Amino acid sequence: MDQAALFRRDVVIRLEAGLHLRPISMIAKLAREFAADIRISKADRSADAKNVFDMLTLQAACGADLTIDATGSDAREAVDAIGDLFDSNFPEPEEFDSDGQPDQKPRRSPK
Amino acid sequence: MKLSDFVVPGAIVPDLKVGSKEQAIRAMVGSLKDAGTFSADDEESIVAAILKREELGSTGIGKGVAVPHTKHPSVDKLVATVAIAPEGVDFASLDGEDVFILFLLVSPPERPGDHLRGLENISRHLRNQNFCNFLKQSKSADDVMELLREADNNQLG
């Protein structure tokens, strides 16, 4: 096995507010679960996916094209996991409505 | 965009002594209000919005730094303040460490780009260890503001 094999996936930012701190924190938390070196690049800028400060400097707005690159033993899994996070558009934890009441739970659909 | 474009000089808190994350946020928002950045009527709603954002995940981003923030209609441009907490504050940070440097940002709801540019600017400078060390050593609001201007002019090496 070639340890230096590079895995790559192109993604697009679909968050209206761009790649802001919350999605960046989610990426960093996920990236730290992998041993691989993971980088996220936008045009000529590249950032360490485990480093929040680095990723904040990408300044990626809605619609920006990014590339995820990883090398290392679990690089393929890392690129898949982070790519899926982009594809799912960084789901929010369950929200509370403006009255501080939990949102109505959707009815359980029949199996 | 420069730090000195959006950090309100009169709102800097050079010696923040608080026992909790909420107190830190209250003190910083209060300081922005005292500097006339928004009216007293908006203070509580800004504090509540920032605390709600923290519930989604801490803005303690590691290396002893936190960047609490919110969008709020009471401002028409990005405004921020800086606080230095020499004894540290437990911010439930991503790396589990206390925070010593806090940048609190309030931006107009319809301008997400300004917010991103502000965060980009702050994090770019915070990657510079000299900037972090000098900030932590600042004893007065003037010290902090001078340091921000030096960072803006890339004088910190």
Query: In terms of CA atoms, which chain A residue is nearest residue B109?
Result: A17
Inter-residue contact B103 to B82 (CB < 8 Å) = yes
* B57, B112, B123: residue with CB nearest A53: B123
Provide the shortest C-alpha distance from residue B4 to chain A (in Å). Answer: 18
Mutate to test the interface with A, among B102, B116, B129, B131 (most CBs of A within 10 A): B116
pTM of the model: 0.86
The interface predicted TM-score of the complex, written ipTM, equals 0.80
Which pLDDT belongs to residue A4? 74
DSSP code string of A20-49: -HHHHHHHHHHHTT-SSEEEEEETTEEEET
Which pLDDT belongs to residue A70? 97
Inter-residue contact B83 to B141 (CB < 8 Å) = no
Residue carrying the six token digits 């980009």:
B120
The string of pLDDT tens digits covering residues A53-63 is 999 999 899 99
Inter-residue contact B56 to B106 (CB < 8 Å) = no
Mean pLDDT (chain B) is: 94
Q: Is the dihedral of CA B2, B17, B129, A69 positive or negative?
A: negative
A–B interface: beta-carbon pairs under 8 A? 60
Residue B14 has a CB neighbour count (10 Å cut-off) of 18
Helix/strand/coil for B35: coil
The string of pLDDT tens digits covering residues A75-93 is 999 999 999 999 999 987 6
Among A28, A27, A40, A38, smallest CA distance to A74 is for: A38
Inter-residue contact A90 to A28 (CB < 8 Å) = no
Among B110, B62, B106, A68, smallest CA distance to A58 is for: A68
HSE-CB of B101 using CA atoms within 13 angstroms: 20
Rounded to whole angstroms, how far apart are CA atoms B102 and A41?
Answer: 27
Which pLDDT belongs to residue A99? 37
Rounded to whole angstroms, how far apart are CA atoms B152 and B135?
Answer: 14
Residue B59 has a CB neighbour count (10 Å cut-off) of 29
Residues 6 or more apart in contact with residue A40 via CB below 8 angstroms: A27, A46, A47, A49, A55, A58, A66, A67, A68, A69, A82
Chain B positions in Cβ-Cβ contact with residue A99 (cut-off 8 Å): none
pLDDT band at A96 (very low <50, low <70, confident <90, very high): very low
Name the active-site residue from A8, A20, A45, A76: A20
